[in-house]
A = this chain, B = another copy of it.
Amino acid sequence: MARTQGSHSDITGPRIRAAALQLFARHGYAAVSMRQIAKEVGVQAGALYNYTPDKQSLLFRLMRTHMDELLSARAARGDFATAVEALEDFTRFHIRFHSERPEEVFIAYMELRNLSPDNFATIEALRRQYEDELEAIVQRGISEGAFAVSDTKIPAMAVIAMLTGVNTWFSSGGRLSLDEVETIYWNMVRKAVAA
């Protein structure tokens, strides 16, 4: 028996999430209505509820997917002989991964307060996991005698804040290529923690 249902279901779902991603990033979750999302997709508002139980779940799914992709892309990176090499890899990975997903990154930082408490806890745990990976690199560098910092958590937070800041100004057609930007940041990061 051929399935007669589901003719559009495989395409409408992704299109809803793509529209929500762009609209949430541009105007903010609270300022975007389900009607706007529906209009962007080309369906009526009621049809959205075939794909998401509610607006909150739509936001959560975008953030959850983003964090999962971040952590698995990060996990796919190899091991490194020294903490310095690991830190350079982290620096370049972070800048590149985030610059390729400006909308997701923006939402991940700006819409945390619009998550329900449970959803917030889930996202927060994933974010913490990512930070811990950098903190471990800092710790390793100290053990190896390559880094000299009087704390591990603060340098990790400082480096992530600094690198994520690239997204606020970088544009791919600008004065510098992403590769050049990576190198400038890596030089600053390297020196900042160096012994």
> What is the oligomeric copy number?
2
Q: Is A162 an interface residue (CB 8 A)?
A: yes
Interface size on A, residues (CB 8 A): 34
Interface-side segment among A10-18, A24-32, A70-78, A97-105 = A24-32
Interface-side segment among A47-55, A60-68, A79-87, A186-194 = A186-194
Q: Is A136 an interface residue (CB 8 A)?
A: no
Which residue of A159, A160, A165, A185 has the most chain B CB atoms within 10 A of its CB atom? A165
Q: Is A158 an interface residue (CB 8 A)?
A: yes
- Inter-subunit contact B157/A187 (CB<8 Å): no
- Inter-subunit contact A168/B162 (CB<8 Å): no
The B-contacting residues of A in range 144-167, CB under 8 angstroms, are: 149-151, 154-155, 157-162, 164-165
Q: Is A110 an interface residue (CB 8 A)?
A: yes
Min C-beta distance of A52 to chain B, whole Å: 19
Residues of B within 8 A of A185 (CB): 154, 158
- Inter-subunit contact A28/B30 (CB<8 Å): yes
Min C-beta distance of A48 to chain B, whole Å: 20
Task: Tell me the nearest residue of chain B to A164, going by C-beta.
Answer: B161
Residues of B within 8 A of A191 (CB): 191-194
Q: A161-B165, A162-B161 are in contact. Are A155 and B30 (CB under 8 A)?
A: no
- Inter-subunit contact A184/B31 (CB<8 Å): no
Could you list which residues of chain A lie within 8 angstroms of chain B, going by C-beta atoms?
26-28, 30-31, 110, 113-114, 149-151, 154-155, 157-162, 164-165, 168-169, 176, 181, 184-185, 187-189, 191-194
